[in-house]
Structure 1
């Protein structure tokens, strides 16, 4: 994770105050302390992995698509696709913790609450910036510190399992704050802006990509044409509906393949492919390796 962090997110230098950067990482996850100004790479940033930022002090401003947002401390930011994130700028007083996790590990940890938060996901995607109260911050910090301590363990036969469980606790804590915030705003499922086509598409994709792979199905649910849906998504997010559905389906496939109990055939059936061969062809086209090879490497 260190190479990814310093080629895609952070500048590979000392902190703004001249001290060495505090960091701990392995192949699955990394936590990097960020202090001061000019600590992030310029231009667009990469979302190959799942990335979040705990803002402890100061403030950060972020460009998302055609909008610039300033987020003060304390807050928690999730860099969610399909936003196009760029030009992260921090002030002199800034301090935060950047958490980077392999996407399939994150999805596996979050699987337990998927059905409970599905109705709120697309609302969160619109503005994935979470202001924190003092007690919220303390609880989030405790989970991040636990992840940090776990990553520092060099010899642990259950390191991956411990990381996943601790990450799951962090995800549960974050979503508890999100749901509380929405309920305080009286933002229940049926009062959401269902007329907003793009957020509803993201909600449908998140909850149905395992079962429905075609743009037409989503367009039919939204009462728009497939071409119109893809054009709107391309304009806002830089990706067509088919690209977003395929990327989401690939992440689902990786989560299923990481489960030792699932064979490639099992995963093909879970994801509603006609047969194992068509699933393998789809997976290899996007990942450059067969599902079997992915299972062995994982």
Structure 2
């Protein structure tokens, strides 16, 4: 992505931005950002890391005159290509991350991340050949995963997150059921029945905690399995479709393209 992609002429409305991975570190001044209809005030002292996922919607962003910071932004497809299809974050951890957009990290962790941001900036100065591009991709992924790690640590120490509640219990049970059954069961009604609740209530819970419908959560879990199998050259695409309980290879291909923007064959080729 180019900085010009984020340029908005004076007087024009802010366009809704979605479908990107963006991680912002605030080092001075103030940034105000609205994500999924929630407004965050970010400064070096509070909410100094903002973690935007592809499903999030940025509807407003503004900066104070003395703002300074680092912004890393790239498409979901860039991350898939750079990771070569590997998904080191488990679905349960990913769902927890979804409900945290802004967190406050210690000055020590921020100093570490600023060094990593600097490495990304330095490696992006010359992308004239394949080796330079590979170095840049590794630097960007290294920064991204370290931010994820620090955010996870912040979540685990959040008393509100660890406090027990019925909705949180339902979400945890739902994720466990997904790990067991998602290869065979793709419908919200199946999981709602297992949990003894209505599909509508299950979607209310997932929307509250992870900002997406229950159907979308199922699709994300299914995509994780699909990517895992596609990286294994021993399976044909038809066999992957059968293992994931799709009626045929065409149905699987349509599902995969809808949720990734690419075909299973193209994904497999890029992941090699």
Task: Report the TM-score when normalising by structure 2.
Answer: 0.71
Task: Report the Cα distance in structure 1 between the residues aligned to 2:89 and 2:157, rounded to whole angstroms.
Answer: 21
Q: How does 1:143-222 map to 2 (within 5 A)?
A: 143-159=116-132, 161-185=134-158, 191-196=162-167, 200=171, 204=175, 208=179, 211=183, 212-220=185-193, 222=195
Deviations 1:109-132 (CA, angstroms, capped at 9, x unpaired): 4946324xx554434322221223
Q: CA deviation at 1:269?
A: 5.6
Alignment of 1:46-61 (within 5 A): 46=18, 48-61=19-32
Which residue in the other structure is 1:71 paired with?
42
Cα distance change, pair 113–290 in 1 and its aligned pair in 2 (3 A): closer
Question: Following the alignment from structure 1 to structure 2, what is the Cα–Cα distance between the partners of residues 239 and 185?
Answer: 21
**Higher mean C-alpha displacement, 198-207 vs 223-232:** 198-207
**What number of residue pairs does the alignment pair up?**
263
Tell me the distance in 1 between the aligned counterparts of 2:209 and 2:159.
28
- Asked if structure 1 preserves the Cα contact closer than 8 Å seen for 2:99 and 2:209, the reply is no
1:112-131 to structure 2, matched below 5 A, reads 113-115=88-90, 119-131=92-104
Q: Which moved more, 1:270-279 or 1:70-79?
A: 270-279
Equivalent-residue separation in structure 1 for 2:147 and 2:258 (angstroms): 34
| Whole-Å separation in 2 of the counterparts to 1:293 and 1:54 | 34
Please state if 1:45 is matched with 2:17: yes
Match status 1:87 vs 2:60: yes
| 1:43 to partner: Cα distance | 4.8
Ranges in structure 1 where 5+ consecutive residues have no aligned partner: 14-37
Larger displacement relative to structure 2 (168-177 or 196-205): 196-205
> For 1:199 and 1:104, how far apart are their aligned partners in 2?
31
Give the one of 225, 231, 241 matched to 1:268: 241
1:224 aligned onto 2:197 = yes
**2:214 aligned partner:** 241
Give CA deviations for 1:74-93 in whole Å, capped at 9, x if unaligned: 62211135444321122221
Distance (Å, rounded) in 2 between the aligned partners of 1:85 and 1:193: 30
Contact preservation (8 Å) 2:20, 2:52: no
In structure 2, runs of 5+ residues without a counterpart are none
Counterparts of 1:58 and 1:297, CA distance in 2 = 41
Cα deviation for residue 210 of structure 1 reads: 5.9
Indicate the residue corresponding to 2:252 in structure 1.
Answer: 279
* Cα deviation, residue 279, structure 1: 1.0
Residue 62 of structure 1: aligned partner = 33
Q: 1:288 to 1:119 in 2, by over 3 A?
A: closer
Partner SS state of residue 196, structure 1: helix
| Cα distance, 1:154 vs structure 2 | 2.6
SS at match of 2:22: strand
CA drift at 1:41: 6.6
> Is the contact made by 1:253 and 1:267 (CA closer than 8 Å) also made in structure 2?
yes
Offset, 1:230: 3.9
